[in-house]
Structure 1
């Protein structure tokens, strides 16, 4: 057999040429499509009527369940179901946090917007239960409804915040701040450290509100930020020391920065229906409820670093 070196060399040359071409093709950088940019955004103005929709739903629940929404009663469980159902439909990661008190099952509703840094959490809370005497629409359907409408606004705005936005609706608070304590106690030390701020909202729709109470038995910086929002709108405020008698107490005791707002400068002087059967939907002032709902949105979006995705402009 004769040796045919030139033919082999030609094959090698062709092979080298093909391999080099393929390598160059692989090495060439692929074109990367520009993704949406994140830009800071302010919350939209929330109409006074928006949270009142939830107030009326809670009234219907009380009417259908013996006139109240108290711990251990059917009205409270129906309130929990309404809040969770609404949040689930809006795209929240929603869980029921169970606990027992006085032989009765209770629940907290915890909802998290699934965007933002999960290691840096800003949390809002309000108690969802009433006393057995009545439906509890000012105390505290107002705080619960303001939070629920804020959650829906976050979802509608499709926020991509810097920090994780978390909401809590507490059970059995009227019988000893049970739900919020149970929730905080269930958190590991590491999970507690992730919560950079907690804000509580209680009775924020009082009909005869003259001054908005800012919790003074908590973090001074958060209290100052809340107070500044009202002052910028010439709305009178007063510092109020609740002596840890509200839902922020468990957070404060755990070393978490906490504060809150209440729409009266004493717990009962401005609301003759406080813990009475007449604390119904008619006992809520829509204007006060609207002020609270918009205040919550403004502060929450600031604390969380609210942003929205904006598609890049194509040339």
Structure 2
């Protein structure tokens, strides 16, 4: 299998098959309109620390070595974050942290927290900035975190997403100095806290045929407090849309995690899309002697808001899946 990672950045320095994205909590001190897992202050679901540490231990046995921590807002539980990061680092994981940055209220506070995260084993911080986040977290706090990361040598990469408010987008790009940054396009997950915003974002992002879908490394193992084990970090709140496809691997509350990781490892389809980002599968299906014409006639002109939704649609087709399983083994 060819390894294709055209992007740059710490996330792309590790193969998707080695990554573990952990939604530690669905609770958050914000309720951003576009939040794909529908986090808010009302949510209480979170992983127990001991459960999360056991997932890391088992994951390491199956070759996982990149941990991406997130939520919700995981820094609502800083002591647990530090302990979890120490455990992960001891197991050989590179640890990255997603956060809305609420804790960077002063330069001094930002520097202190970044230092504590660094000492615990966190290697990279990914603060979020968007028109929706600014309703809850001021941009000054993100600037404090950026400067603290620069001062302390912490890897810093900003999670910025387009909104349906272009003036606010332009403000963020200027304030956070994004004009000189490489911005990786990604597609839209059509789930969130505000249905009206999601409809507006559909217009902003648009849909694409398989030839043109953007993919920003969306395929990697993800877990959440519900116990879901999904083959993508683009999880939603309940993840119903993944049911019945190879992307829904199982629930670790019902099935031992090692069995689920074994199933992930043995899935020819998952391992192919982990190692060969879009449009590799699309091209392979087009060129397949027995499936190509059927696939092109069926899926070639369908439109999708995300590469994940494209995979879901293809994986629900019994004829395609029968031929694909055989071709990839």
Is the strand fraction higher in 1 or 2?
1
Larger Rg: 1
Q: TM-score, normalised by structure 2?
A: 0.25
Q: TM-score, normalised by structure 1?
A: 0.26
